[in-house]
Amino acid sequence: MNIEHIRHSLAHLLAAAVLKKYPKAKLGIGPTIENGFYYDFEVPHGFSPDDLKEFEAEMRHQIKEGLKMEGEKITPAKAKIFFKNQPFKLELIKDFIKEKKDLSIYSLISSINSSLKTINYFSDLCRGGHVDNTNEINPEAFKLTHTAGAYWKGDEKQPQLQRIYGVAFSDKDELNNYLKMREEALKRDHKKLGPELDLFIFSPLVGPGLPLWTPRGTLMRDLLDSFVFELRNERGYVRVDIPHITKKELYEKSGHWDKFKDELFKVKSREGHEFAMKPMNCPHHIQIYARKQWSYRELPQRYASTTKVYRDEQSGEIGGLSRVRAITQDDAHVFCRKSQISEEMSKIWDMIEIFYKTFGFELSVRLSLRNPKEPKKYLGTPAHWDESEETLRKLAKSRKVDAPEALGEAAFYGPKIDFIAKDSIGRKWQVATIQLDMNQPERFDLTCISEDGKPERIVMIHAAIMGSIERFMAVLIEHTAGIFPLWLAPVQAQVLAISDKQINYATKVLNELLSAGIRAELTQSNITLGKRIREAQIQKIPYVLVVGDKEIQTNSVAVRNHKRGDEGTMPIKECIKKLQEEIAKKEM
């Protein structure tokens, strides 16, 4: 059974159920999405949880009725009459006519006594992809999960509709597994955990999509960035630095002015020159490469900057750290000869593997290629594209990985290898990418002098490891549920004295930890020990070191690990050594 057809059909059943209870509801659209479907409705009030239960019951009833789903093509005139009370459908019909698309309606039909009498339950404007009969749907394997406000056509100037979300699978077990995973995901939501762990905040005065990083959050970002740079250092990358605004002309030449049109934040100087906040770093690194004529002997040149880019995302699209307006990229570009592509890409691939495996992510890859049917969407010639795509295929093959090809997923300037990380609760996130670019070097006329003394066209490789630090932090918080590995935890150890009597000794322990380079804190003891331990638990601090009279006598600490619990009493020196080893190994 085609699960997409089931999900799509359920959206219609939902609309029919809503209309049964609220006959005046106006229907928006009802597409399928990952794991399910939604449908938008204009109603004078929101839907309650009881409403959702009623709709579900009605949908199960429709499934058991064994309604047939049948479609027919209709003329625009007929469609307009049919949907005369459905203003949003009328708008869609107008759009379809403008785009010269066929119009068809699909109906849910119950036939009593096969041919004698038919009852038309519900009809919808639709292009098909359904079950033939609702009895093909498993009534136990779907659920309406939640509602949310959504603007018609995603435009905040348009009416606000109520969106009902549903999930559907082929059997009950799959549904239950998904619901369990979702519940776990809500507990781990970075939007909730981030502020709780004091990592970042949003300020209404600064604006949506512009996170502010606290001392703890900033420390983590720096540690992550240093880790990436350690990997890069070993592979010949050097840091460069670039400004955040740039003249319009640079982006006209790079093609970004056209490509990012609506997403560019534009700035005008007092002299009337047009600038833009940079949406990308590539053209800047290109200018640094182009500062001199290179010999083939000096290639590759590998430039890295951890820097922000700015995109004017629409308010409706912004949420937590996953989609922001100021994005920090750990960006790098390799300028090299064609003959060096495989080796350079392979080095980037190595870094990505080391980086993500350190956190226990399972990685898979996808080759994102162009859609040959839409040549206008891409810069450069088909010959360039064929060549670059073939290079990527060969590389994936040489690394012996399964690399499915996704047509139409390439960047406008070249094909990519996309890396997908599976997190601890089974969700998949697109993370790093390696992009081969034969177009920008052409546009900016980038060359090196080859063995025969003539200029040779070079290529560039875009190579971010985290991609966006904000997004990576979001994924990492949810992957670890905020229990970070020791090397990354903002506070690694909390020293607790049982009572004031031991405060001098506790301070001595704290100082020894600090001078050994361990991020430690000492909480004053005017709160009960139990409360302080609980607070450290909530803050997910990896180690709590408790000291009492017994520990003073033996110059030791009682060690408690956040995940593993009590680990016994040990001399301070031994405890420090244990923590340092765990940090050095970047243990998960």
Closest approach of Zn ion to the CB of residue 134, in Å = 12
Residue 333 appears among annotated catalytic residues? yes
Closest approach of Zn ion to the CB of residue 444, in Å = 13
Among 93, 277, 282, 572, binds Zn ion (CB under 5 A): 282
Which of 282, 336, 448, 575 does the annotation list as catalytic? 282
Query: Helices 572-584 and 503-515 sit at what angle, rounded to 10 degrees?
Result: 40
Among 13, 14, 103, 126, binds Zn ion (CB under 5 A): 126
- Contact segment (CB under 5 A) with Zn ion among 371-379, 412-420, 454-462, 508-516 equals 454-462
Which runs of E-coded beta strand occur in 87-180?
104-112, 117-125, 142-151, 160-168
User: Would you say 305 or 480 has its CB closer to Zn ion?
Assistant: 305
Closest CA to 576 of 493, 490, 507, 502: 493
Spatial separation of the C-alpha atoms in residues 186 and 190, rounded to whole Å = 9
- Specify which residues 531 forms β-bridges with: none
User: Would you say 304 or 395 has its CB closer to Zn ion?
Assistant: 304
Residue 62 appears among annotated catalytic residues? no
Spatial separation of the C-alpha atoms in residues 39 and 483, rounded to whole Å = 37
User: Would you say 446 or 510 has its CB closer to Zn ion?
Assistant: 446
Which of 12, 188, 285, 416 does the annotation list as catalytic? 416
Closest approach of Zn ion to the CB of residue 285, in Å = 7
Closest approach of Zn ion to the CB of residue 403, in Å = 21
Which of 329, 440, 494, 502 does the annotation list as catalytic? 329
- Contact segment (CB under 5 A) with Zn ion among 146-154, 334-342, 371-379, 460-468 equals 460-468
User: Would you say 228 or 520 has its CB closer to Zn ion?
Assistant: 228
Closest CA to 179 of 13, 428, 426: 426
What is the DSSP secondary-structure string of 519-575? Answer: -EEE--TTS-HHHHHHHHHHTT-SEEEEE-HHHHHHTEEEEEETTTEEEEEEEHHHH
Which of 7, 333, 366, 471 does the annotation list as catalytic? 333
Residue 267, helix vs strand vs coil? strand
Closest approach of Zn ion to the CB of residue 130, in Å = 5
- Contact segment (CB under 5 A) with Zn ion among 44-52, 118-126, 507-515, 530-538 equals 118-126
Q: Does 69 bind Zn ion (CB under 5 A)?
A: no
Query: Residues with Cβ < 8 Å from 139, sequence gap 6 or more?
Result: 59, 60, 63, 64
Query: Residues with Cβ < 8 Å from 32, sequence gap 6 or more?
Result: 4, 7, 8, 11
3-state secondary structure 431-465: EEEEEEECCHHHHCCCEEECCCCCEEECEEEEEEC
- Contact segment (CB under 5 A) with Zn ion among 56-64, 457-465, 484-492, 519-527 equals 457-465
Cβ atoms of 447 and 335 closer than 8 Å: no
Closest approach of Zn ion to the CB of residue 440, in Å = 8
User: Would you say 15 or 518 has its CB closer to Zn ion?
Assistant: 15
Closest approach of Zn ion to the CB of residue 11, in Å = 7
User: Would you say 74 or 576 has its CB closer to Zn ion?
Assistant: 74
- Contact segment (CB under 5 A) with Zn ion among 99-107, 381-389, 485-493, 517-525 equals 99-107
Closest approach of Zn ion to the CB of residue 462, in Å = 3
| Binding flags for Zn ion, 15-54, as an x/- string (CB under 5 A) | ----------------------------------------
- Contact segment (CB under 5 A) with Zn ion among 166-174, 274-282, 510-518, 543-551 equals 274-282
Among 5, 256, 366, 462, binds Zn ion (CB under 5 A): 462
User: Would you say 106 or 487 has its CB closer to Zn ion?
Assistant: 106
Which of 278, 302, 370, 462 does the annotation list as catalytic? 462
Closest CA to 135 of 157, 115, 113, 110: 110
User: Would you say 10 or 126 has its CB closer to Zn ion?
Assistant: 126
133: exposed, middle or buried (Cβ count in 10 Å: 0-12, 13-18, 19+) = middle
Spatial separation of the C-alpha atoms in residues 301 and 237, rounded to whole Å = 8
β 160-168/493-497 pair status: unpaired
Query: Helices 215-233 and 341-358 sit at what angle, rounded to 10 degrees?
Result: 140
| Binding flags for Zn ion, 390-409, as an x/- string (CB under 5 A) | --------------------
Closest approach of Zn ion to the CB of residue 332, in Å = 8
User: Would you say 32 or 494 has its CB closer to Zn ion?
Assistant: 32
Give the Å distances, CA to CA, from 234 to 93, 229, 302, 333, 467: 59, 9, 12, 16, 19
Phi, psi of 485 (to 5 degrees): -60, 155
Closest CA to 422 of 478, 469, 364, 349: 364
Cβ atoms of 480 and 184 closer than 8 Å: no
Cβ atoms of 5 and 131 closer than 8 Å: yes
Question: By rule CB under 5 A, what count of residues binds Zn ion?
Answer: 4
Give the Å distances, CA to CA, from 377 to 215, 255, 320, 373: 43, 12, 31, 10
- Contact segment (CB under 5 A) with Zn ion among 103-111, 243-251, 397-405, 476-484 equals 103-111
Closest approach of Zn ion to the CB of residue 106, in Å = 5
Cβ atoms of 139 and 60 closer than 8 Å: yes
Closest approach of Zn ion to the CB of residue 281, in Å = 6
For 13, the token pair is: 């059943």
Residue 302 appears among annotated catalytic residues? no
- Contact segment (CB under 5 A) with Zn ion among 36-44, 120-128, 166-174, 496-504 equals 120-128
Q: How many CA atoms lie within 13 A of 137 on its CB side?
A: 32
User: Would you say 466 or 545 has its CB closer to Zn ion?
Assistant: 466
Which of 124, 331, 418, 423 does the annotation list as catalytic? 331
Which of 285, 311, 325, 366 does the annotation list as catalytic? 311
Active site residues: 282, 311, 329, 331, 333, 416, 462
- Residues in contact with Zn ion by CB under 5 A are 106, 126, 282, 462
